[in-house]
Chain A
Amino acid sequence: MMLPFLIIIPLLGAFSMPIMSLLGEKARNAWAILVSALTLGVASKVFYDVWSTRQLVVYTLGANTPLGKGVNFPIRILWEVDLFGALIALTIAFVGFLAVLYSIEYMKHDTGLDKYYTLILTLELGMLGIVITGDLFNFYVFLEIMSIASYALVAFRNDTWEGIEAGIKYMFVGSLASSFILLGIALLYGQYGTLTMSYLAVKIAQNPTLVGRVALGLLMGGLLFKSGAVPVHMWLSDAHPAAPSSISAMLSGLVIKAGGIYALTRIAFSIYATSINIKTVGWLVIFFGCLTLIVGNAMAVVQTDMKRLFAFSSVGQIGYILLGIGIGLAAYGTKIGDIALAGAIYHTVNHALMKALLFLTAGAVLHEAGTKNLNELSGIAKKMPFTSFAFLVGAAAIVGLPPLNGFASKWLIYESSALYNPFLAAIAVAGTAFCTAAYIRVIFTFFGAPSEAVENAKEPGKAMIVPMLVLITAIIIMGLLPWQINDRIMLPTVDMLKDQLHYVIAVVGGA
């Protein structure tokens, strides 16, 4: 089976990177690109398998029936992939490959690059592990792998004060949030005695107790931190500007989705679906989603630092995804809930592509002009036309202009929230208004008269242009076929996600 190779290949690549870098710089770059390209191949094969047969892929690390022939249940660490996990894994592998390709030229002037490539492959490995796992403690281990790699990467440029300060703030509060998640997992173990997600779902359905709900609350608190919801979003606005731009693209596009949104959805839908009052949990997520929409997009309007503006805009878009998931939980089982959940999943994939493009563009501008202060960067479109065009496509996609891919997912969220409760749709549209205002300020700056700081700017080299070109093509193609993608990929994902029965039966086997 191809599933264990999704972890084996990045793991082998990451740990043999210091040896490969002894052979020279070109060998190290070639090895990094080779490993991430192979991971992309394996991820697309896994996605195609799960999509074409619509069946869960279960992989046990060890023997299938360790207790002998009578008991059918593998008491092991399991990996269980359904369409949602396979889709996010494909997005992670795709954007990861483009980020590695981009950083070959972007990080040329830094030292210690073998540790950088090791860390970026470990980051990709941690995220891939989160989306394919079916066991709660395995999820915690992969979450910590991803988090520790991202702490080290945010503080990578340790000769500047910005990297160190952002790294310290992100690390301390991030470890505290991971401790909350571990506390929730420990309480679940103490109450129910098992940590396999499917078996835990069966046990919670038989015996819902107060401890189970406290554990859900702690897990939700920690995971809302990792996904960047308001009021715990402040690490995001410090850490994403301070990281190198290829890492910013991976952090803002993938880490907050895989470690936060995916885990929250998996725990809410596949473990706890029918055992709690799902309307309460849904309204809680909707409340945090609405707060995030307003505060995230509003703070993006008044920033002067370009990457900090993009980071706050990321916070705002997470508000849309949380709103979609909340309505999917609160209206569980109805058509409105399905549409909202499809919109949220579609927006996850879309925002990964759009925000990666925006951060790669910001990296190109920073690499050439040397500053990211918007007050000095006027008129860059004359010197770097391709980069400005890429920024224009990315900004139009995030705002939700029709021929691009942001339109379809935002439309689904607007419609489902308008049908569920019109007040939520008003908040969502207000969020889009703030988002448009923020990006218009940046566009106006880029297309003005040239200032002194951009006199020496020119187009970046080929290794930085190709990822931006690939992302622009992907955004435009996905934008021309929105309803086909929705009907063929997103709606079946929602069906498999809500189908807790098959998720459980694939492992427990009808026992």
Chain B
Amino acid sequence: MIPLQFITAFLMLFMGFYAFLYKRNLLKLILALDVIDSGIHLLLISFGYRLEDGTLPTAPIYTGYETLKGTPMVGPIPQALVLTSIVIGVCVLALATALTINAYRHYGSLDINKLRRLRG
């Protein structure tokens, strides 16, 4: 079957890259950072989904009701990695928003083409 999750993840990545190159508003750049991070997280989580003997896997929680060779589980390691990465993404976004507010106070506009005093 078509691996829709990978296609969606890469589409999100490309949307984020396009927005980073061609948009000028600082808030749109912050949103582009967020979309890129979400794309990579989707890619990581979907690497844990593996089909064993044709049965679909379930969430990796031991409930005590499993039979011996019954239900396979989704890989839990990428979920731990993604949780850590979401926290890092939140931290970066918070700092970026704070810097954007400060930049508006100094420059009076949110246009990235106006922040050009440091050059050469």
Contact = CB atoms under 8 A, between A and B. Distances in A.
Interface of A: 137, 140-141, 144, 148, 151-152, 155, 158, 161-162, 164-169, 171-172, 175-176, 179, 182-183, 186, 189-190, 238, 242, 303
Contacts of B84: 137, 141
Given A141-B88, A148-B92, A172 B29 contact: yes
A212 B102 CA distance: 41
Nearest to A172: B29
Interface in B93-120: 95-96, 99-100, 102-103, 106-107, 115, 117-118, 120
A171 B36 CA distance: 15
Contact of A164 (B20, B77, B78, B99): B99
A189 B33 CA distance: 22
A172 B96 contact: yes
Prevailing SS type, chain B contact patch: helix
Contacts of B26: 168
Nearest to A187: B43
A186 B47 contact: yes
Contacts of A137: 81, 84
B102 A164 contact: yes
B91 interface: yes
A303 to B, nearest CB: 8
A190 B42 CA distance: 12
Interface residues of B, number: 31
A182 B40 contact: yes
A164 B88 CA distance: 21
A155 B106 contact: no
Contacts of A179: 33, 36-37, 40
B13 interface: yes
Contact of B33 (A151, A172, A242): A172
B21 to A, nearest CB: 10
B10 to A, nearest CB: 10
B44 interface: yes
Contact of B100 (A161, A168, A169, A190): A168
Given A148-B92, A151-B99, A167-B99, 5 more contacts: A141-B88, A148-B95, A168-B96, A176-B20, A186-B43
Contact of B92 (A155, A175, A303): A175
Contact of B95 (A140, A162, A166, A171): A171
Contacts of B115: 165, 168-169
Interface string B25-65: 01001000100110010011001000000000000000000
Contacts of B103: 164-165, 168
A175 B33 contact: yes
A152 B97 CA distance: 12
10 contacts: A140-B85, A144-B92, A148-B92, A151-B99, A161-B106, A161-B107, A171-B99, A172-B96, A190-B47, A303-B120
Contacts of A155: 99, 102
